[in-house]
């Protein structure tokens, strides 16, 4: 009985709707009917079906009134999923890097062990003399791991001892409904895990980033240590400007976000 009354009311109200709204409603209902007829007993949605409803969610304000297949929250959840799939396709590997020969790996490790004072550029240069062309990052990748001396202070102990004088900075991204990417810069105090400063831009630069750090610590209120990653945006000019505030910068190891845990946990990357 309720369905009959609801159908009658919708029929009466349709006379007051615009022609474009009725066309969109008709298309949405026909599409859902086609999905229901596709498979029994339970219809299965295809990627194209999800894409159609994501488009309606983006450009049609009244899309929820004619949705019968799934819950509106399901359609809303499809949008960030589509964003991830889009950028996964954009960042797909265009070509595979050649693997490093096992004998070459053993040679690199032997050179590291035999020459503990050499750095990766020196080992790379010595290999080039032998006609072996290899990147600096590959040389550092196969560096033997050394045990830490018992008397050395661990990174965790350093963070605990200097929590009051330690701030961390980092970037994280925010996708928009039109598949643009915004960059959010964050300054976080370790002691109370308080956000001291943040700002948003679509094109970050070294000058812009440095200015954000300066604005976060006006009137000589800067702490002692600044913890950050090794992003290329922190150039030489940026380092000098930040150090002029009295901040001693501590860079974490490459590909080691766990060394900056407080801000990484806040932005959700760890």
Q: Tell me, yes or no, whether 193 lies in a domain.
A: yes
Q: What is the pLDDT of residue 171?
A: 93
Answer yes or no: is pLDDT of 40 > 80.
no
217: preceding bond cis by omega (within 30 degrees): no
Domain span at residue 120? 102-141
Instruction: Verify that 82 and 162 share a domain, yes or no.
Output: no
Q: What is the pLDDT of residues 148-195, one digit of tens each?
A: 565 567 777 777 787 888 899 999 999 888 888 999 999 999 888 889
Q: Tell me, yes or no, whether 128 lies in a domain.
A: yes
Instruction: Verify that 204 and 255 share a domain, yes or no.
Output: yes
Q: What CATH number corresponds to the domain at position 194? A: 3.30.420.10
Answer yes or no: is pLDDT of 145 > 90.
no
Percent of all residues in the chain with a pLDDT value above 90, rounded to a whole number: 15
Q: Tell me, yes or no, whether 149 lies in a domain.
A: no
Instruction: Verify that 175 and 262 share a domain, yes or no.
Output: yes
Instruction: Verify that 113 and 62 share a domain, yes or no.
Output: no
Q: Tell me, yes or no, whether 148 lies in a domain.
A: no
Q: What is the pLDDT of residue 211?
A: 92
* Stated pTM of the model: 0.46
Contact between 228 and 170 (Cβ < 8 Å): yes
Instruction: Verify that 137 and 238 share a domain, yes or no.
Output: no
Q: What is the pLDDT of residue 3?
A: 47
Q: Tell me, yes or no, whether 175 lies in a domain.
A: yes
The token pair at 133 is 């062309």
Q: What is the pLDDT of residue 237?
A: 84
Q: Tell me, yes or no, whether 97 lies in a domain.
A: no
**Phi, psi of 166, deg, nearest 5:** -125, 130
Q: What is the pLDDT of residues 88-132, one digit of tens each?
A: 777 776 666 677 888 889 999 999 888 888 888 899 999 999 888
Instruction: Verify that 210 and 244 share a domain, yes or no.
Output: yes
Q: List strands edge to edge, sheet with 181-189.
A: 194-201, 181-189, 166-175, 225-228, 248-251
Domain boundary residue, one of 141, 169, 201 = 141
pLDDT confidence tier of residue 144, bands split at 50, 70 and 90: confident
Residue closest to 226 by CA, chosen among 253, 193, 190, 256: 190
Domain boundary residue, one of 69, 90, 111 = 90
Q: What is residue 258's DSSP assignment?
A: G
Instruction: Verify that 120 and 168 share a domain, yes or no.
Output: no
Instruction: Verify that 165 and 77 share a domain, yes or no.
Output: no
d(CA 129, CA 134): 11
When divided into structural domains, the chain yields a total of 3
Q: What is residue 254's DSSP assignment?
A: T
Contact between 204 and 184 (Cβ < 8 Å): no
Q: Tell me, yes or no, whether 146 lies in a domain.
A: no
Q: Tell me, yes or no, whether 80 lies in a domain.
A: yes
d(CA 197, CA 218): 11
Q: Which residue has the higher pLDDT, 193 or 64?
A: 193
Instruction: Verify that 177 and 73 share a domain, yes or no.
Output: no
Instruction: Verify that 238 and 197 share a domain, yes or no.
Output: yes
Instruction: Verify that 49 and 75 share a domain, yes or no.
Output: yes
Instruction: Verify that 164 and 257 share a domain, yes or no.
Output: yes
Q: What is the pLDDT of residue 222?
A: 77
Tell me the three state secondary structure of residue 187.
strand
Q: What is the pLDDT of residues 194-215, one digit of tens each?
A: 899 999 999 999 999 999 998 9
């Amino acid at each position: 009985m309720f369905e009959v009354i609801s159908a009658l009311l919708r029929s009466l109200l349709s006379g007051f709707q615009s022609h474009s709204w009725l066309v969109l409603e008709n298309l949405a209902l026909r599409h859902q009917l086609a999905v229901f007829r596709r498979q029994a007993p339970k219809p299965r949605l295809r990627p194209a079906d999800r894409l159609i409803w994501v488009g309606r969610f983006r450009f049609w304000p009244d899309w929820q009134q004619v949705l019968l297949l799934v819950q509106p929250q399901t359609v809303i959840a499809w949008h960030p999923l589509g964003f991830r799939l889009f950028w996964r396709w954009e960042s797909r590997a265009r070509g595979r890097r050649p693997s490093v020969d096992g004998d070459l790996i053993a040679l690199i490790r032997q050179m590291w062990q035999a020459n503990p004072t050499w750095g990766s550029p020196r080992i790379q240069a010595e290999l080039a003399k032998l006609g072996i062309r290899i990147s600096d990052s590959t040389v550092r990748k196969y560096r033997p791991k050394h045990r830490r001396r018992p008397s050395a202070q661990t990174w965790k102990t350093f963070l605990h001892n200097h929590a009051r004088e330690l701030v961390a900075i980092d970037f994280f991204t925010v996708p928009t409904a039109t598949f643009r990417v915004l960059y959010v810069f964050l300054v976080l105090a370790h002691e109370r895990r308080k956000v001291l400063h943040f700002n948003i831009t679509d094109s970050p630069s070294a000058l812009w980033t440095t200015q954000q750090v300066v604005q976060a610590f006006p009137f000589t209120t800067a702490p002692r240590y600044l913890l950050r990653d090794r992003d290329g945006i922190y150039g030489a000019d940026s380092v000098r400007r930040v150090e002029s505030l009295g901040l001693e910068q501590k860079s974490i190891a490459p590909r080691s976000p766990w060394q900056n845990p407080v801000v990484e946990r806040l932005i959700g990357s760890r």
